[in-house]
Structure formats: C-alpha cells, structure tokens
Amino acid sequence: MERISVSALPPCNLGSAAVADDEFVASFEACSYPNQAFHHPDHLRLAWIYLRRFGAPSAEERMCASNVRFAGSLRHAAKYHETMTRAWVRLVDGAARLTPAPSDFVEFIQLHPWLLERNVLGSFFSPELMGSDAAKHGWVQPDLAPIPFSCAGR
C-alpha cells in the first residue's frame, strides 16, 4: 500500500499519512510508533487495516491487545478504555460493510468523514455509561442505540 495523500483527506490530523500500511502496523504493534503522531484518525486507520486483514472479531481483539500494549509501553495503561476501543472498531466495521470495496483508507474516510467526529460515541453511549469502570475495563452494550451494521464482536 502506498503512502496517503493528506490533501485527499477530509480535514484531520493523520500522523501516519506518510507511512505505508505494513510499516504503520508493524511500528504500532512493536510500540515504536511515535505517540505524538498517533491521533484519532490513526486509530481509525489501524482498525480499518485490521478489519481488512483479519475480519471483524479478530480485528477487534487485535486492536484491543495492540492498544493495551501501546498504552502500557508509554506508561499510560490507565488511559486504555475497552468499550471505547471496541466501539470504534465496530463503527469502522459497520461503515466498511456499507462500502465494501474502497481501494484505500483515503477513499474510505472520504466516504465516512463522520468517523472523524470524536463525539460520535455519544450517539450510542451515555456519558455515565462510558465513564463507568465496567465500560473502561470491559465491553458494555450501548445504552442509547445499537451500533449499526457491525459484525465485530459477534
């Protein structure tokens, strides 16, 4: 996969734009990817790559494991949020099911710029639920609306 053309993206902070998919995944999984370059759109890109490579349930598990390891390597293990991680993978999965053949992440995110909105989870989860210890340390079902179209975690 070639590097991403930032000018083709909706406005976002994609720190991994200059890094090819394989290199991006390998450096993130090795905990050598620079934290200051890892932003919300990079999480989405990683989830999108995992979903394409491993399918929904495996991608979700891999995303959780990779995020836990990465956060731990930065001594930020307490910042990891299980429900948030799984929910974002499920949203990316649902969006991917609506557009099953995008050629690359740029095309995918152009079709689904709503994924760049960090507050999207508020459509599915109340702040009280997302702030709970149960949501932080394990998966909890959304209390406002189900996550549409996703097969991740099923």
Assigned token pair, 51? 């979903």
39 by DSSP, 3-state: which? Answer: coil
The token pair at 6 is 């930032």
| pLDDT at residue 87, rounded to an integer | 98
- What is the tens place of the pLDDT at every residue in 28-40? 999 999 999 999 9
Residues whose CB falls within 8 Å of the CB of residue 47, separated by 6 or more in sequence, listed in order: 59, 63, 88, 89, 92, 93
pLDDT of the chain, 154 residues: tens digit per residue: 445 554 555 556 788 888 999 999 999 999 999 999 999 999 999 999 999 999 999 999 999 999 999 999 999 999 999 999 999 999 999 999 988 787 789 889 989 999 999 899 999 999 999 999 999 999 999 999 999 887 776 6
Name the DSSP class of 151. Answer: -
Alpha helices, H only, 3-150 = 21-29, 40-54, 56-73, 82-98, 105-111, 127-130, 133-137
Nearest to 4 by CA among 31, 37, 51: 37
DSSP-derived secondary structure letter, 147: P
Which H helix or E strand runs over 92? Answer: helix 82-98
